[in-house]
């Protein structure tokens, strides 16, 4: 699989269903009590995109995108309109070694927090608190990594927070692109896109 550093066309996402999904195994024991096993540590986002392609330009854009990611073979970027940015209070880091730091978004509910890895920050939107990009740190925007590399010798002070926008690392669930011709030359199409999980 190859990652294509292109974003699913935003003009085709109107009316799409999207949101996070976990995987939980459920069983009911003899006592009647339900037992559940958490299969994934982190959720996967699911996008169901179903709409009329009313413009010839949108039809061409969708076809060109599908061809260039080779159907379900190659992964790409998609913007989750329900969850695509982190504030200073939400953007955190973990240290990976060699002045490299993984980006995470922290979700807080009462006294509970859950950190979700951010793999595809959006160029031109990221701010690492107290530092300037290219002067104090670099980010590889071309791969689904979400890693900030701090610059300088000796080792610079560790970054603590970040803010900005990010995309989701995604892949088409199917290898075909069904398009139906409706009255008036309008095309309708439905595709299902799943987050490509780098972690369990």
- pTM summary value: 0.88
Residue 190 pLDDT more than 90? Answer: no
Q: Is the dihedral of CA 40, 43, 48, 49 positive or negative?
A: negative
pLDDT confidence band for 28 (50 / 70 / 90): confident
Query: Of residues 53 and 70, which shows the higher confidence score?
Result: 70
- The answer to whether the beta carbons of residues 96 and 102 sit under 8 Å apart is yes
d(C-alpha 6, C-alpha 65), whole Å: 9
Q: Check residue 200 and give its pLDDT.
A: 53
The Cα–Cα gap between 100 and 107 comes to 23
Report the range of poorest mean pLDDT among 5-14, 60-69, 123-132, 181-190: 181-190
Q: How confident is the model at residue 58 (pLDDT cuts 50, 70, 90)?
A: confident
């Amino acid at each position: 699989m190859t990652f294509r550093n292109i974003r699913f066309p935003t003009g085709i996402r109107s009316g799409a269903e999207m949101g996070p999904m976990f995987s939980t195994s459920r069983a009911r024991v003899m006592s009647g009590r339900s037992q559940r096993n958490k299969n994934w540590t982190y959720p996967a986002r699911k996008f169901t995109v179903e709409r009329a392609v009313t413009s010839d330009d949108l039809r061409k854009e969708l076809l060109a995108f599908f061809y260039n990611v080779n159907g379900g073979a190659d992964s790409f970027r998609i913007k989750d309109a329900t969850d695509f940015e982190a504030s200073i209070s939400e953007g955190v880091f973990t240290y990976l070694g060699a002045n490299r730091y993984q980006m995470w978004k922290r979700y807080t509910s009462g006294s509970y927090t859950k950190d979700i890895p951010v793999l595809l920050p959006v160029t031109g939107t990221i701010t690492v608190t107290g530092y300037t990009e290219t002067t104090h740190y670099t980010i590889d925007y071309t791969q689904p990594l979400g890693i900030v590399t701090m610059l300088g010798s000796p080792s610079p002070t560790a970054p603590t927070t970040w803010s900005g926008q990010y995309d989701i690392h995604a892949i088409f669930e199917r290898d075909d692109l069904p398009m139906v011709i409706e009255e008036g030359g309008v095309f309708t199409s439905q595709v299902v896109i799943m987050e490509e999980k780098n972690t369990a």
